[in-house]
Amino acid sequence: MPYINIKMAGPEPTDEQKEQVIAEVTEIMERVLGKKKERVMVMIETLTPQSIGVGGASVKKLASESK
């Protein structure tokens, strides 16, 4: 069973956006890798920008510096 875990910085996507991501990622797994869509599991986790760091700084700090 393919298990896909998508982690991203907030803001939280809408329910409609999550449905679209799940459907499209599942379709890619089916089309490209020949997986049965009934067996593909997709999880979406939204993390706070202060919980993710790039280059030694949080995404929250980097976003505020780029404004």
pLDDT, one tens digit per residue, over 6-59 is 999 888 999 999 999 999 999 999 999 999 999 999 999 999 999 999 999 998
Q: What is the pLDDT of residue 42?
A: 98
Q: Domain range holding 53?
A: 3-65
Catalytic residue, candidates 2, 11, 13, 49:
2
- Position 66 confidence tier, pLDDT thresholds 50, 70, 90: confident
Question: Domain count of the chain?
Answer: 1
CATH of the domain at 27: 3.30.429.10
How much helix, strand and coil, in percent to the nearest 5, is found in the chain? 50, 25, 25
pTM tops 0.75? yes
SS3 10: coil
Q: Is 13 a catalytic residue?
A: no
Q: Measure the CA–CA gap between 6 and 4, rounded to whole angstroms.
A: 6
